[in-house]
Amino acid sequence: MNNHDWMRRDLAVLWHPCTQMKDHEQFPVIPIRRGEGVWLEDFDGNRYLDAISSWWVNLFGHANARINAALKAQVDQLEHVILAGFSHEPVVRLSERLVAMTPPGLSHCFYADSGSAAIEVALKMSFHYWRNAGQRNKTRFINLSNSYHGETLGALAVGDVSLFKDTYQPLLLTPITVPSPARIRPRGRTTTRSHRARGTTSTSTGMATGSRTSPTASASRRRPAPTSSATRSSRGRRR
């Protein structure tokens, strides 16, 4: 089967994330057959430089021999067990190594299965911390202008990209948006631009910040389209 065959089957049964599916009436889906290192290869033999690391999660390259060997060995022994009430050797060993690298006070690990889920965890931990401390009126979060944290409702709420948020605004909590400097280069010079803070003002007793539990809660990032940063070559030759 070639690219066209897989694209036709794909569009018959799939909705793709962060994608306006109507665009694929004009722009093709790129079906990938295999990956090696920084390269992806489709079913027609074209190769693509995976410059976005498959949405930032593939830092060590596709089909990394060391990682694949560890995955194969682990799945033959234990593929999954719930961490509520259970534990296992790999998670204990990993947590010990992570705690050894962190500053004093960061002595325990809590795992989530995606970036958006990690933001949800950070928001809940921050809120729960202040509740346990007796300050139950701390229910607001500060976010940075132009920040991006994910697509689930909590992560979407503390981001600031209207393209993703506007449709779901009635479902979202309202953060206090503060300026985030954006580096730009007008006419060859570097300047700093800030956006005005938005949202209602609040006293310090009415705010909770996700950064108390996760540094990613205040990281500013924008998500590019997955296909826009792939550099394509034909039959292994760069074009």
**CATH code of residue 189:** 3.40.640.10
Query: 233 and 172 in one domain?
Result: no
Query: 34 and 125 in one domain?
Result: no
Range of the domain at 135: 114-218
Q: For the chain, give the mean pLDDT.
A: 81
Query: 156 and 129 in one domain?
Result: yes
Q: What is the pLDDT of residues 180-197, one digit of tens each?
A: 886 655 555 444 444 433
Query: 213 and 143 in one domain?
Result: yes
Query: 172 and 211 in one domain?
Result: yes
Predicted local confidence at residue 199, as pLDDT: 38
Residue 97 domain-assigned (yes or no)? no
Q: What is the pLDDT of residues 118-162, one digit of tens each?
A: 999 999 999 999 999 999 999 999 999 999 999 999 999 999 999
Residue 83 domain-assigned (yes or no)? no
Query: 214 and 131 in one domain?
Result: yes
Predicted local confidence at residue 188, as pLDDT: 53
- Please tell me the total count of domains within the chain: 2
Task: Calculate mean pLDDT across residues 10-30.
Answer: 92
- More confident site: 203 or 23: 23
Residue 178 domain-assigned (yes or no)? yes
Residue 25 domain-assigned (yes or no)? yes
Residue 85 domain-assigned (yes or no)? no
Q: What is the pLDDT of residues 65-119, one digit of tens each?
A: 999 999 999 999 999 999 999 999 999 999 999 999 999 999 999 999 999 999 9
Predicted local confidence at residue 183, as pLDDT: 61
Residue 125 domain-assigned (yes or no)? yes
Q: What is the 3-state secondary structure (H, E, C) of the chain?
A: CCHHHHHHHHHHHCCCCCCCHHHHHCCCCCCEEEEEECEEEECCCCEEEECCHHHHCCCCCECCHHHHHHHHHHHHHCCCCCCCCCCCHHHHHHHHHHHHHCCCCCCCCCCCCCHHHHHHHHHHHHHHHHHHCCCCCCCEEEEECCCCCCCCHHHHHCCCCHHHHHHHHHHCCCCEEECCCEEECHHHCCEEECCCCECCCCCHHHEECHHHCCHHHHCCCCCCCCCCCEEEEECCEEC
Q: What is the pLDDT of residues 26-48, one digit of tens each?
A: 999 999 999 999 999 999 999 99
